[in-house]
């Protein structure tokens, strides 16, 4: 069987065999810098030509003596009998290498992807397996165009044509051998697949990165917090906005109530709950209230305001701050009236007119 140069390391020395051109080569000493070429007829001739005798390894070289041709005595006259076939030295041909013949294959007439077989007075070119042509021009066969071959590739793989061969390769984002299985790679399991403060989502053959809610930026390199409080209308009117990592909060100020997110914060009228001391005047303020003693009264307005013998006139009535139950009389009338225990004066108007904004009776 003819073949191109065969290179192998028998007994750890360099040895190569070129049957087409009719020679072999090997090293002749320890050095591998220079190799010696020999005719094929010196294979298995009982004499070591190579440094470690690779040319006499009959079993590995398949040297035989059964090239039985008339008058050859089982031998090749100008060549070597290998695997029951004569392989001629350069310049010879014929069944027993008995005819001088020019080896046209030495001039490399065939395509680079073809075998050249020397014959008597001629030669023959044949394309390598996986190629098609006449030997002088060989073209690679695209095996992936064959539906039967392409069907060998599993889902999520592709058929890749190679010189004289093909390969089933998993698609990007999948792993496997292409002919048995191709399974999805979960890229999100890999450290640093996405940047800080981002979310990684695996999808078949790929993955995506998105910023977490409340963050913005490039999710592949990192997301930064959004200050929602800079947005108009983030909270309701009069509400306090506080930015947090990835979000924000809305709260009504102290002294107000309502829906701080979607409604409004309204001031609480604390005076409705009578928070001041006895006899004091309560004034509601934004988010709070104040207590003061009326004019002529002294004391702690948040506890008690008092005023001894403080008298004012309301029409023909005399109002005293002494909270004792006793009869009160008109100066010009005889019918007695009863004075309540306590009367809280809220505000006095001018021009001798008393205006009571609120009275608290404690009978």
284-316 pLDDT, tens digit each: 888 788 999 999 889 899 999 987 534 443 333
The predicted pLDDT at position 72 comes to 52
Identify the bridge partners of residue 123 per DSSP, sorted by sequence position: 118
Neighbour count for residue 105 (Cβ, 10 Å): 22
What is the distance between the alpha carbons of residues 207 and 209, in angstroms, rounded to a whole number? 7
Match domain 188-225 to its CATH number in 2.60.40, 2.10.25, 3.30.450, 2.160.10: 2.10.25
Task: Look up residue 110 and give its two tokens.
Answer: 């065939």
Single out the residue of 187, 165, 192, 160 nearest to residue 175, CA to CA. Answer: 187
The predicted pLDDT at position 75 comes to 75
What is the distance between the alpha carbons of residues 145 and 238, in angstroms, rounded to a whole number? 73
Q: What is the pLDDT of residues 149-195, one digit of tens each?
A: 999 999 999 999 999 999 999 999 999 999 999 999 999 999 999 99
Q: What is the pLDDT of residues 2-19, one digit of tens each?
A: 333 444 444 578 999 988
What is the distance between the alpha carbons of residues 291 and 344, in angstroms, rounded to a whole number? 13
The CATH number of domain 79-139 is 2.10.25.10: yes
CA distances from 12 to 8, 19, 32, 116, 223 (A): 9, 22, 11, 30, 61
Q: How confident is the model at residue 134 (pLDDT cuts 50, 70, 90)?
A: very high
Predicted TM-score (pTM) of this structure: 0.49
Q: What is the pLDDT of residues 250-291, one digit of tens each?
A: 999 988 889 999 988 988 888 988 889 888 999 988 878 899
- What lies within 8 Å, CB to CB, of 246 at 6+ separation is 197, 212, 213, 214, 215, 225
The CATH number of domain 228-268 is 2.10.25: yes
- 135-138: long-range contacts (C-beta < 8 A, 24 or more apart)? 135/110, 135/111, 136/109, 136/110, 136/111, 137/111, 138/111, 138/112, 138/113, 138/114
Whether 11 contacts 2, CB under 8 Å: no
Neighbour count for residue 231 (Cβ, 10 Å): 11
* 5 phi-psi bin (left φ>0, alpha ψ -120 to 50, beta other): beta
- pLDDT above 50 for 86: yes
The predicted pLDDT at position 146 comes to 93
Q: How confident is the model at residue 213 (pLDDT cuts 50, 70, 90)?
A: very high
Three-class SS state of 278: strand
- Please give the helix or strand (H or E) that residue 225 lies within, else none: strand 222-225
User: What's the topology of domain 143-185?
Assistant: Laminin (2.10.25)
- pLDDT above 90 for 90: no
Task: Look up residue 42 and give its two tokens.
Answer: 């010196």
Domain ranges of the chain: 79-139, 143-185, 188-225, 228-268, 271-307
What is the distance between the alpha carbons of residues 221 and 217, in angstroms, rounded to a whole number? 8
The predicted pLDDT at position 49 comes to 93
Whether 40 contacts 88, CB under 8 Å: yes
CATH architecture of 271-307: Ribbon (2.10)
* Burial class of residue 28 (count of CB atoms within 10 Å of its CB; 0-12, 13-18, 19+): middle
Whether 299 contacts 277, CB under 8 Å: yes
* Burial class of residue 324 (count of CB atoms within 10 Å of its CB; 0-12, 13-18, 19+): exposed
Q: What is the pLDDT of residues 49-80, one digit of tens each?
A: 999 999 999 999 999 888 866 555 667 889 99
pLDDT > 70: percent of the chain: 80
Whether 218 contacts 195, CB under 8 Å: yes
- 228-232: long-range contacts (C-beta < 8 A, 24 or more apart)? none
């Amino acid at each position: 069987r003819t073949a191109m140069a065969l290179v192998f390391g028998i007994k750890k020395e360099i040895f190569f065999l070129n049957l087409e051109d009719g020679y072999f080569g090997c090293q002749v000493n320890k050095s591998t810098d220079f190799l010696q070429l020999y005719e094929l007829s010196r294979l298995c001739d009982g004499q070591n030509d190579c440094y470690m005798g690779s040319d006499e390894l009959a079993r590995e070289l398949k040297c035989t003596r059964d090239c039985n041709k008339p008058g050859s005595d089982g031998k090749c006259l100008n060549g070597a009998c290998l695997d029951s076939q004569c392989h001629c030295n350069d310049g010879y041909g014929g069944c027993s290498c008995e005819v001088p013949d020019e080896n046209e294959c030495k001039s490399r007439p065939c395509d680079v992807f073809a075998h050249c077989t020397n014959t008597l007075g001629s030669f023959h070119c044949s394309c390598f397996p996986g190629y098609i042509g006449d030997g002088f021009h060989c073209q690679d066969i695209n095996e992936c165009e064959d539906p039967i071959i392409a069907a060998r590739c599993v889902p999520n793989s592709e058929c890749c044509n190679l010189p004289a061969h093909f390969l089933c390769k998993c698609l990007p984002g999948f792993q496997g051998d292409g002919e048995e299985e191709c399974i999805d790679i979960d890229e999100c399991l890999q450290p640093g697949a996405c940047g800080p403060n981002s979310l990684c989502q695996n999808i078949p053959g790929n993955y995506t990165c998105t910023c977490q809610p409340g963050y913005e930026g490039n999710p592949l390199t990192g997301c930064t917090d959004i200050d929602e409080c800079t947005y108009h209308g983030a909270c309701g009117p009069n509400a306090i906005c506080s930015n947090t990592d990835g979000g924000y909060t809305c709260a009504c100020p102290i002294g107000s109530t309502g829906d701080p997110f979607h409604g409004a914060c309204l001031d609480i009228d604390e005076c409705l709950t009578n928070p001041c001391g006895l006899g004091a005047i309560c004034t509601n303020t934004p988010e709070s209230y104040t207590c003061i003693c009326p004019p002529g009264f002294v004391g702690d307005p948040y506890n008690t305001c008092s005023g001894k013998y403080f008298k004012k006139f309301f029409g023909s009535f005399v109002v005293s701050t002494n909270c004792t139950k006793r009869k009160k009389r008109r100066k010009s009338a005889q019918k007695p009236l009863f004075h309540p225990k306590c009367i809280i004066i809220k505000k006095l108007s001018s021009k001798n007119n008393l205006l009571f904004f609120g009275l608290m009776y404690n009978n």
